[in-house]
Amino acid sequence: MDKACLAILSIAFLFLLHYLFSRHGGGGAKAKGALRLPPSPPGIPFLGHLHLVKAPFHSALASLAARHGPVFSMRMGSRRAVVVSSPEHARECFTEHDVALANRPRFASQQLVLFGGAALTTSSYGPYWRNLRRVAAVQLLSAHRVAGMSHVITAEARAMARRMCRAAGTAPGGAARVQLKRRLFEVSLSVLMETIAQTKTSSRAETSADISPEAHEFKQIVDEVVPYLGTANKWDYLPVLQRFDVFGVRKKIMAAVSRRDAFLQRLIDAEQRRLDEGDVGEKKSMIAVLLSLQKSEPEVYTDTMIMALCANLFGAGTETTSTTTEWAMSLLLNHPEALKKAQAEIDTAVGTTSRLITPEDLPRLGYLQCVINETLRLYPAAPLLMPHESSADCKVGGYDVPRGTMVLVNAYAIHRDPAAWEDPAEFRPERFEGGDATDGRLLIPFGMGRRKCPGETLALRTIGLVLGTLIQCFDWDRVDGVEVDMAERGGLTIARAVPLEAMCRPRAHMRDVLREI
């Protein structure tokens, strides 16, 4: 860093100190003394506990909870945060204080990416959010709509399996080395494109050489944006970094956002043309429904609202489902006995020669559901859920949580609580067999309460069909027999540090079935 930058940072830091002193001086100490705040690790002046923000953040917070208790507080720059890491206190947050904690904190990075808080996941709790959630739930995420989407998910999963089968047919020894995340991402994107925008990814030769141009483009955008959206992004807590943008964070975010908005605008424009030309079938896409509603209520269904909802659904729907399926395959590769058990269950329920897995088979595949539950327990897609913010003073675990406090619920730590789960770090799908799935324990990969993720039904349907197809159609091996590295990467989602690569060989009795679909 050159001297000019250092000088700018020094001056800016002095202004920041002045701001913090003037804001938190005087009466602030008295107010703090009147509250019973949660315990806190040692901090440093002005920066608070930002020096403890390490990747992966959910794991660092779990370690802090082991030392400071299931409810502890942190000072993230100028922002106060409370971290909740136990099932009983999470239930308290989402039952007794569900309304008080229904707001979202506003981060500079999220404002840039998610239309100034207009997106479903980040909008403030109130009439606007309720209307947005209703539209998403009715037009895309209801059980009825998801059931209608099942044939799309099935078709995309089968197309992926067919391309992988052809790739294996040309590979030495009949086994292809595949990087699964790219293929899984494409399936998720293709499903959303067809149901949200009534369009498909570009057709290409039936080969596994690469994913579609649309999937490649959108995955690049997601990969560039997601690292800046997590609660561990220090840029969000230090106004001086935002003002001078020394590290070019704002520039990088805006470049990716511009490309994403152009991608989505193409889909919206195409739907508008179809509406104008009357080329719309009985079953409208979600975008077509929104554009129709815009004509009667333009003040509610604004261009920004439509774009924000699409961005939210595409961003969350592609990354989380593909990541969860990738983790499930990683776990099965490291536990071949579980993989064989899941495969045998599908063979028994579906047969070994006649057909591929369908949505109607899923309720009968109990062990497959156990594998998915255990994957979501160990690797919840959003390990800290989405952050909440208190809109009123409340108490959690007997401690005061003042209005305006950010509340982080560490689902990762709750799912690995040794008081609730036997051998919590072990992959053991059998723990979910028989009776209630959680047996009174808390499993919250999609959150809880009013702000629970509305896409749970669609995500579970997609993961079940895609994972079931991969298990049914192929025999899987680790590359060179080496155990899969399960290292995690920090961020909003719990992605793998290294994308999963594996060897897939079409099962002999499935080759003809794959050729016929």
Pairwise CA distance, residues 253 & 160, whole Å: 31
Helices (H), 25-56: 27-33
Of 447, 467, 145, 453, which is closest to residue 322 (Cα–Cα)?
A: 467
What CA–CA distances, in Å, run from 19 to 58, 479, 491? Answer: 30, 55, 29
Enumerate residues 6+ apart whose C-beta is below 8 A from 33.
none
Q: Please give the Cα distance from 377 to 442 (Å, whole number).
A: 9
Rounded Cα distance between 167 and 174, Å, is: 9
Angle at 143 between CA 281 and CA 269, to 5 degrees: 40
> CA 191, CA 253: separation in Å to the nearest integer?
26
Asked if residue 65 lies in contact with residue 413, where contact means CB atoms within 8 angstroms, the answer is: yes
**CA distance linking residue 175 with residue 475, whole number of Å:** 9
In angstroms, the CA 250 to CA 235 distance is 9
Is 473 assigned to a binding site?
no
Separation of alpha carbons 230 and 47, rounded Å: 18
- How far, in Å, are 132, 154, 309, 359 from residue 118 at the CA level? 9, 32, 8, 34
- Contact 124/111 with Cβ under 8 angstroms? no
CB of 474 closer than 8 Å to CB of 162: no
For the annotated binding site, the residues are: 453
Numbered residues of the known binding site for heme: 453
